Structure 1
Amino acid sequence: MGTLGTVLVGLAILVGLAGIIVPILPGSLLIWIAILVWAIAVGEPTGWVVLGLATLVYAVALVVQYAIPGKRLNRAGVPGRAMLVGGLCGIVGFFVIPFVGLFVGFVLGVYVFEIGRHRTHAAAWESTKHAMKAAGLSILIELAGGMVSATLWVVGVVLV
């Protein structure tokens, strides 16, 4: 793979990392696809090893990013339906309010769901705070996986 191709793969990885922080694009998947394209273009064992390790990191991060925050939400008594409603409202908010609508919609969706369930502001807000922490933790876990995959790719580029 030439220099231009390597730079383009690097840019795709950076866009993927940005897509994790601001969840507009499927960031981790974009990073994995960029590494796949690089491994195919390089066609050397090092590329395939990097792709295999990146695949493992992607799979582990995907499981952990839902498992750990999900356990914390269960312990806090926040049902999965609250997160589902928050996610759906976040998607609607994304299209209604540019840039911040995803976050505003998520918080409002969880809060409205929880106020309907608890009937008190204090309990609903407490659940909403737990949901926001869980969403943030999920993003951090995914970002860590993306950073590890990006680092693996850089090491692979140096070795090839």
Structure 2
Amino acid sequence: MGVWEILLVGSVILLGLGGVLVPGVPGSWLVWAAVLWWALKDPQPVAWWVLVGATLALFLSQVVRWALPPRRLRASGATPRMAVYAGTGAFLGFFLVPVLGAIPGFMGGIYLSERLRLGRGGEARAALRQAMRNGGSSVLTELFTCLLIAGAWLGAVIWG
């Protein structure tokens, strides 16, 4: 697989990661489809293992999301700006504290967004709790799974 094709797959994965944060965009399916395309174009054993792992991870993610409360983030006052802060925090956290840093990064992004909007720490913590209860945990589950898949793909491309 050529460099341009790998960059295109990476771009679709990044688009999917952003799509997780946007209601109505099938972000996790974009990430999976990009990995599928990569595995079909580069039929190495590691590519197939990444695809199998991605499929299982997304399936488990969907099961967990089904058990969590439905997304009602708009009703709780979530804004697109909050999604950008949460996504950026999760992305940075994922790489700064490998893998598990996505969780505090996501929550820290929501807190920072609300702190800037509301101006007080107590109100920002209450808004963070409300956002997580109203579907933030569902978004976090899907985003964390997609970040794991993206990390596995990136590792396979670099070291595979």
**Structure 2 counterpart of 1:17, which letter?**
L
For 1:6 and 1:57, locate their aligned partners in 2 and report how far apart those are by CA, in whole Å: 22
Structure-2 residue corresponding to 1:11: 11
Structure-1 residue corresponding to 2:31: 31
Structure-1 residue corresponding to 2:101: none
For 1:4 and 1:41, locate their aligned partners in 2 and report how far apart those are by CA, in whole Å: 13
The TM-score with structure 1 as length reference comes to 0.60
Mark the runs of 5 or more structure 1 residues left unpaired by the alignment: 71-82, 91-98, 101-128
Structure-2 residue corresponding to 1:76: none
Structure-1 residue corresponding to 2:145: 145
Cα displacement string for residues 84-134 of structure 1 (whole angstroms, at most 9, x for unaligned residues): 9x69x98xxxxxxxx79xxxxxxxxxxxxxxxxxxxxxxxxxxxx868723
For 1:131 and 1:17, locate their aligned partners in 2 and report how far apart those are by CA, in whole Å: 19
What stretches of structure 1 move > 3 A for 4+ residues in a row? 129-132
Once superposed, what is the RMSD of the aligned Cα atoms?
Answer: 2.5
For 1:131 and 1:15, locate their aligned partners in 2 and report how far apart those are by CA, in whole Å: 23
The TM-score with structure 2 as length reference comes to 0.60
User: C-alpha displacement at 1:158, in angstroms?
Assistant: 1.4
Mark the runs of 5 or more structure 2 residues left unpaired by the alignment: 82-128
Write the mapping of 1:3-82 to structure 2, written as runs, cut at 5 A: 3-67=3-67, 69-70=68-69
SS at match of 2:23: coil
For the Cα contact (< 8 Å) 1:46–1:159, is it kept in 2? Answer: no
For 2:9 and 2:134, locate their aligned partners in 1 and report how far apart those are by CA, in whole Å: 31
User: C-alpha displacement at 1:159, in angstroms?
Assistant: 2.8
For 1:143 and 1:36, locate their aligned partners in 2 and report how far apart those are by CA, in whole Å: 18
